[in-house]
Amino acid sequence: MSSLQDSGSGLSSSKQDSSASAAAETDRSDELLRTRFMLDSDEYQEGAGRRRFLYLSCIATSLAGFSFFVWPFLESMNPAADIEASATTEVDLSKIKPGESVTVVWRGKPVFIRHRTEAEIEAARRDDAAPMPDPQPDAARVERPEWLVVMGICLHLGCVPRGQRPTDSKGEYGGWFCPCHGSHFDTSGRVRNGPAPNNLSVPEYTFLDETKIRIG
């Protein structure tokens, strides 16, 4: 009987030990889980900080790259100083005598400037009503009667008419003659004969004073 009681007590003690061991194991597992969660949470927060840092660094680098590459590109689109200078041309008229002509370059193209005589002015005005391919009164083509400023390009095929030098043929109307296809221009630069469809064009220009103009 005594041995049965001892055996029962041993079994009861063994069960209690097993229960205690299981409870301890459960507590240990919970602790490990909690610890692991906390570690994962800390790692997550640290990683998020690194990602934010990398994100902001990428933005800063992109802005720096934009300034380094794009800004010079935008600056290169602005006209250079020499191009801006060539956009206008100033001409001193004081040395051009009546009856003489000079050729200047504006934007890479020739411009004819003629100091007209009284006879040339009168001839241009007299022919205002004459039949022309491109009718235009002389007064509409000059700022001052004695000075004629026209582009030195025939609008037929882009040739440069003759008539600037004293030895050049000035055509049938005393102005210019285009030998390429035979267009004749009068002393106002208007086409009178030949295939040119339009008069010699008048560029934009301004008198800065009595003896100087700015073209463009």
> What's the number of domains the chain is made of?
2
8 Å CB contact between 153 and 107: no
The verdict on 1 and 103 lying in the same domain is no
For residue range 142-164, list pLDDT tens digits in order.
999 999 999 999 999 999 999 99
- Clarify whether residues 129 and 189 are in a common domain: yes
174: which 2 tokens?
């005393």
Annotate 100-146 with DSSP letters as a single string: -EEEEEETTEEEEEEE--HHHHHHHHHGGGS--SS---GGGG-SBTT
Q: Are residues 170 and 116 in the same domain?
A: yes
pLDDT at 57: 72
Q: Which domain holds residue 71?
A: 1-78
Please identify, among 34, 49, 78, the residue that sits at the C-terminal boundary of a domain: 78
Amino acid at residue number 165: R
Q: Are residues 197 and 106 in the same domain?
A: yes
194 vs 47: which has the higher pLDDT: 194
Same domain flag for 163 and 69: no
User: Can you list the pairs that 38-41 forms with residues at least 24 positions away whose Cβ atoms lie under 8 Å?
Assistant: none
Q: So which residues are the catalytic ones?
A: 181
* Same domain for 105 and 34: no
> Does residue 35 sit in helix, strand or coil?
helix
Taking only the tens place, the pLDDT of each residue in 55-103 is: 677 777 776 666 666 656 666 666 555 555 568 999 999 999 999 999 9
The CATH number of residue 173's host domain is 2.102.10.10
